[in-house]
Amino acid sequence: MVETELWLVDLHKSGEALEALEASSPRLSSDVLTRLAAIKDEATRRERMRAHIALRVLLERQLGPSVRSMPFVIGASGKPALANDGVSFSLAHTKGLALIGTGPGMPLGVDLELMRAVHMPETRRAPIEREAVALAAGAPLGDGNPDARFLRAWVRIEAVAKALGEGVGPLLEHLRPGREAPHSSAEPVSLPGAEQCRIVAHDVAATRDLFAAVALPAGQSPPPLGVLPEAAAKIEALLEPGSGTRR
């Protein structure tokens, strides 16, 4: 049975183990390898590769080894999926880290950002932050550092956009000057091929300088955050039948 899971991956600490697992049992699909090969910067390419290996390992945890090297199917919106529609997934990465969500076939999106300076006027920040509160069913962004508030808002919006299978642009378009007022988050969002439902963003507690969010259908509680192990043997242990313990 596929369960919703959320994993944080340190691409440096777990990276060598992930590469060793890929060398012994290839999991990456040819389409992903082609996209990775097109990345010119070696450090960036290696981090992306490690993130995709981690994604494949966690998909295998859900569905078994039959998904190894299975190509992704790209939908009309550009969102990748497996031909096996029994699982949904979302991958986000920033410098040195990745956040991966997997679950049963339902809308699912994740995003993360490291603490950084945000160069944006308050007139643009304020409506984005209000929208982020609405998308999180009214959950406040907290007080304090204005950059931290904005980044917490941004990952909420990105996570919802990924759950909907579209870019962040459509969610923010109505917030531009002269556009109509924001939609009510209480109204259902129409999802392609699914019944009407509402997507809700949830903050994910990670570290003080890391902001993360997961978006799920209303009524779905976010799972606890697991941290991918650093050793190859411990990562492989996650693939054992009945393994439900996060290490």
Per-residue pLDDT of the chain (247 residues; tens, 9 = 90+): 788 999 999 999 999 999 999 999 999 999 999 999 999 999 999 999 999 999 999 999 999 999 999 999 887 777 888 876 678 999 999 999 999 999 998 899 999 999 999 999 988 999 999 999 999 999 999 877 999 999 999 999 999 999 998 778 877 776 765 554 444 443 434 333 333 459 999 999 887 799 999 999 999 999 999 999 999 999 999 998 777 533 3
> 58 φ, ψ to 5°?
-75, -30
Strands 5-10 and 225-227, by their bridges, are: parallel
The total of other beta-carbon atoms located within 10 Å of residue 209's CB is 11
- CATH fold for domain 107-219: Ribosomal Protein L22; Chain A (3.90.470)
The tally of CA atoms less than 13 A away on the side-chain side of residue 182 is 16
Q: pTM for this one?
A: 0.89
Give yes or no for a contact between 111 and 91, defined as CB atoms under 8 angstroms apart: no
CA distances from 132 to 86, 142, 196 (A): 29, 12, 21
Cα end-to-end span (Å), the chain: 20
The total of other beta-carbon atoms located within 10 Å of residue 182's CB is 15
Ramachandran area for residue 96 (φ above 0: left; ψ -120 to 50: alpha; else beta):
left
- CATH fold for domain 1-105+224-239: Ribosomal Protein L22; Chain A (3.90.470)
Strands 88-94 and 199-204, by their bridges, are: unpaired
One-letter amino acid of 152: R
CATH 3.90.470.20 region(s) of the chain?
Answer: 1-105+224-239
